[in-house]
């Protein structure tokens, strides 16, 4: 069965010039305690973004997630796709750290790489020209990350960017959920509250004519997503980090046609993420095809459907 991973990364999304990482070779994940490894072995149910132990192991989880971030090379990207049926991956830029140009250039070396665009909120001059260029080179949508980009979703600059981007009628993927990315003397860079769902709720309702993808389905704030956004018809949700029970909850509340597979690689591994969705689908091949493939092709308007592995 063909699979499209609708939310993943290439490059270092945490620091400037993160695109340089893409072409490094021989990069290995250090051997250290990583709670996400345990989580992946248990279909995302035990330790990780969606449980109390994540709070207990918060420092180690952030440290390990940072280590994963620094492995997002093209070489490792290709290794991550081995023994999967993934034919396309939608890589997300987070400007200014990783840009659409970084991903566009990487796609020349591997045609499984699709991509969104992003904006540098400290440099939003001539955005119309930028967006037209980005659409012309293949951008499938716009990515916003309020925590890493350090801007609340109810900020007027965000509203202005979205209003302008709406001209192209492309979806917008928004990081959702409280998360931490920086440690020690960089902790001041963390603004986890910007991941709270109340900000997203305002955004989605302000722009009912725009299709939004709720990144990670809200992480550990999934219940708030279900509570606050259950009546919103303009949202889709990705499955990254979510255990089977939560995926089934999303299907029940929002409909199977609104759920799309994502790994958020390198922050989770692809094969455990695939197994988790299959576990949730309980052998229902029609449901699997919707979540793994059809919903993404419909929303993102992916025309080429030939297996290109």
Question: 146 near 152, Cβ under 8 Å?
Answer: yes
Which domains, ranges and CATH numbers included, belong to the chain? 3-300 (3.20.20.140)
Digit-coded pLDDT (tens) for 63-88: 999 999 999 999 999 999 999 999 99
- Mapped onto helix, strand or coil, the DSSP state of residue 18 is helix
**By 3-state DSSP, what share of the chain in percent is helix, strand and coil, each rounded to 5?**
45, 10, 40
Task: Report in angstroms the alpha-carbon separations of 255 from 152, 229, 233, 290.
Answer: 28, 13, 10, 11
Digit-coded pLDDT (tens) for 225-283: 999 999 999 999 999 999 999 999 999 999 999 999 999 999 999 999 999 999 999 99
- The CA-based angle 98-144-87, given to 5 degrees, is 65
pTM for the whole structure: 0.95
Digit-coded pLDDT (tens) for 11-51: 999 999 999 999 999 999 998 898 888 888 888 875 445 55
Judged against a pLDDT cut of 60, whether residue 304 lies above it is answered with: no
């Amino acid at each position: 069965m063909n699979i499209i991973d609708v939310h993943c990364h290439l490059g270092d999304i945490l620091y400037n010039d993160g695109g340089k990482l893409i072409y490094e070779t021989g990069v290995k994940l250090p051997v250290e305690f990583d709670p996400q490894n345990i989580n992946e072995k248990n279909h995302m149910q035990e330790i990780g973004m969606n449980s109390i132990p994540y709070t207990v192991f918060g420092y180690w989880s952030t440290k390990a997630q940072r280590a994963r971030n620094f492995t997002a090379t093209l070489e490792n990207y290709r290794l991550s796709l081995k023994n999967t049926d993934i034919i396309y991956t939608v890589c997300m830029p987070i400007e200014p750290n990783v840009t659409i140009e970084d991903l566009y250039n990487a796609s020349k070396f591997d045609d499984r790489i699709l991509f969104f665009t992003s904006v540098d909120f400290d440099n939003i001059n001539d955005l119309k020209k930028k967006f037209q260029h980005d659409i012309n080179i293949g951008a499938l949508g716009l990515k916003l990350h309020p925590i890493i980009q350090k801007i609340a979703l109810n900020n007027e600059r965000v509203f202005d960017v979205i209003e302008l981007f709406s001209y192209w009628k492309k979806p917008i993927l928004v990081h959702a959920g409280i998360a931490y990315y920086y440690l020690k003397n960089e902790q001041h860079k963390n603004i986890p509250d910007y991941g709270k769902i109340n900000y997203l709720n305002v955004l989605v309702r302000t722009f009912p004519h725009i299709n939004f993808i709720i990144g990670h389905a809200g992480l550990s704030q999934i219940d708030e997503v279900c509570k606050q956004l259950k009546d919103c018809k303009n949202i889709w949700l990705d499955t990254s980090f979510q255990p089977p029970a939560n995926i089934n909850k999303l299907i029940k509340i929002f409909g199977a046609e609104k759920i799309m597979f994502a790994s958020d690689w390198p922050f989770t591994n692809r094969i455990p993420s695939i197994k988790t969705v299959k576990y949730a689908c309980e052998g229902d091949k029609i449901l699997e095809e919707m979540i793994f493939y059809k919903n993404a092709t419909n929303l993102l308007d992916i025309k080429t459907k030939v297996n290109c592995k």
